[in-house]
Amino acid sequence: MNRTPHHLPRARTRQLITKEVAGELIVYDRESDRVHCLNSTAAFVWNHCDGRTSVATMAQLLEAEMNEPVEQEFVLYALAQLNKSKLLDDSYAGIGPSQGLSRRAVMRLGVATALSVPLITSIVAPTAAQAASCLPSGASCASDSACCSNNCTDNGRGGFQCT
C-alpha cells in the first residue's frame, strides 16, 4: 500500500461496517469500537472520497446535489472531520480548515445550506461482552434492564432480584 501523503482523499474501508438510516450514514469502526453518524452532507463527501476526486470536484458535485452554491471550504471542513474521525485512509494529508467553518463562510451559505453543514457525531460503542452483560436469575437488582430476563421483582424481603 502506498503511504505517500496525498491531497486526494480516499475513504477508509477496512474494518468498517456501514448502514444508511433515515438519510444519515452510520459507520461502525471495528478497530476502535467507535460509531460515527454522518449527516447526509458528510456522507456525501465521504462517499466521494475515492482517491481520484479533488476537493474542487467534490464541491461542484455537492453544489449540484444541494442546488446551492458550495465553496471548497465547506468540503475541506467535512474532510477535516472525516480525517479526525479516522474515516479516511492513512495516506491522506489533509489541508484546509481544522477549526471549522469561518463565520464569514457560514454567513455566505443560504439557510438551507447552513443546516446542511457537514456533521459527524461519534460515540464509543460497548464491546460485545459489555453489551451482553446482565444479571442472572436470583441476583439482586435495581431495575428490569439490569436483568437478563428483563424482570426485576420485589423478593418480599425488602429487596429486589432478577426472576
16-21 β-sheet, strand order: 16-21, 24-29, 34-38, 120-124
pLDDT of residue 96: 53
pLDDT of residue 106: 53
Of 140 and 110, which is predicted with more confidence? 140
Lowest mean pLDDT among 6-10, 28-32, 51-55: 6-10
pLDDT at position 4 over 50: no
**What integer is the mean pLDDT of 38-64?**
93
Q: What is the pLDDT of residues 74-83, one digit of tens each?
A: 888 889 899 9
Other CB atoms within a 10 A radius of the CB of residue 95 amount to 12
Among 111, 82, 106, 109, CA closest to 94 = 82
Q: Is the C-alpha dihedral spanning 116, 99, 21, 62 positive or negative?
A: positive
